[in-house]
Amino acid sequence: MSASQPYVPRISDGGGKADRFRSSKRAELKIWWREIDRVLLFLILLLMAIGTAAVAAASPSSARRLSTATVQLPDLYFYWAHLKWQFLGICTLIGASLMTRDNARRIGVLLAAAMLVFLFLVPLIGHEVNGAKRWINLGMRFQPSEFLKPGFAIALAWVLSWRLRDPNLPVLGIVTGLMVTVGGLLMLQPNLGATLLFGGVWFVLVLLSGVSVQRIGALLAAGAAGLTATYFLYDNARHRIDAFLGGGTAFDQVDLAQRTLLAGGWTGSGYALGVRKLNLPEAHTDYIFSVIGEEFGLITCAIIVILYLAIIARVLVRLADEENLFTLLAGAGLATQIGGQAFINILVNLQLFPSKGMTLPLVSYGGSSTIAVCLAAGLLLAITRRNPFLTRETPGLRTLLPEKGTRP
């Protein structure tokens, strides 16, 4: 460099790359906020907020029941743990909702494949709790069936959407075989409640995919035969069904749940003033709806039911004019999974359904179950994302469904 030329230092572009990265992330967040169903997101977060208050009310009951002479759990032990899991759940929910529709489909299918492998491993290396072997312990204990739920709905929707490429593909046989495999593995645990929930998701998706009435009738008959066989072959299922049909006794947990639910009347006894909850097993998980009834009243219970109905209705409205078959089926399947689990839990608490050991999604305390249901909600938000500035020029899914009698 000659003396006549001044030295000009080169400015590193590191700062420019960082600025571009931050700008890109801000742009992605703006697009996400514009495309996300904000009403659905609000309903989900509102249920989680109600769940926080409900777990705080139920925590003393469960903490005292699980305390021993050597280990005394604080009354709010499960409440503080629930806050940690909810934080991780919200992070999972937001992270999943940031995915594109295609990435949500890929993650769902991979999740279904991985959890199906774990289901095969449960009978071999599974961890047993309360007489049921449903958990895998890999440093952190988790229930594969919980994480299979969102993956199952997305995988079935993906397979059923293949028929748009080739109407002769045996997609009905594939999804039915998958359902039979999952149901058989779940009944080995045994887990009749989850089997019924998976069966409900499978039936809704098959119904929406355009299967003929004759095939639907045959599927219903096969399902009835399967339930009948379950009653005679599985003692656990038979005992629970017999107890339900026989009306139960004052010592049955379902009867205790109903008594607890009705003890607070319309307005409830008040926070931390419930008495019957202290005798209720699994008050912070399976029977949290009864604790809500005792301490916050039947009006609050009705609000929770309305919120679940609002979530289902919102998803259906969002999908009403959807043109993509996979999106319709996946969104409907995920809504069926969340709504179906909620109403099974509520019906059990009302003594209108046999006990199933199923939590109330977005409300009950849970570790891996909270993460799993938040993942399902996040995938639902991702799949129902829509650019509000795009107009639709096609009449919707009616042109995509096969004519009557066409093989699915």
Contact at 8 Å (CB) between 157 and 174?
Answer: no
Contact at 8 Å (CB) between 44 and 93?
Answer: yes
Nearest in space to 301 (alpha carbons), one of 288, 283, 286:
288
DSSP letter for each residue of 129-174: ETTEEEEEESSSEE-HHHHHHHHHHHHHHHHHGGGGT-TTS-HHHH
Edge-to-edge strands, sheet with 132-137: 127-129, 132-137, 141-142
Lookup: tokens for 355:
């006990």
Lookup: tokens for 260:
């607890």
> pTM of the prediction?
0.83
Contact at 8 Å (CB) between 128 and 150?
Answer: no
> CB within 8 A of 80, min separation 6: which ones?
none
CA distance 216 to 382: 30
Kindly state the average pLDDT of the residues 100-104: 91
Partners of 137 in the beta sheet? 141
Higher pLDDT, 185 or 233: 185
Kindly state the average pLDDT of the residues 325-337: 92
Kindly state the average pLDDT of the residues 122-135: 74
> CB within 8 A of 392, min separation 6: which ones?
321, 323
Higher pLDDT, 106 or 240: 106
- Is the N-terminal amide bond of 190 cis, ω within 30° of 0? yes
Per-residue pLDDT band for 18 (boundaries 50, 70, 90) equals: low
Which phi and psi (to 5°) does residue 303 adopt? -65, -40
pLDDT tens for residues 145-175?
Answer: 899 999 999 999 999 988 877 777 888 889 9
Per-residue pLDDT band for 393 (boundaries 50, 70, 90) equals: very low
pLDDT reading at 398 higher than 60:
no
pLDDT at 122 (0 to 100): 84
pLDDT reading at 129 higher than 80:
no
Q: H-helix or E-strand containing 128? A: strand 127-129
Higher pLDDT, 126 or 374: 374
Helices and strands (H, E) in the chain, number of each type: 14, 3
Query: Would you give the DSSP letter of residue 210?
Result: T
Radius of gyration of the chain (CA): 24
The full length of the chain comes to: 408
Higher pLDDT, 211 or 325: 325
Per-residue pLDDT band for 381 (boundaries 50, 70, 90) equals: very high
Kindly state the average pLDDT of the residues 288-295: 90
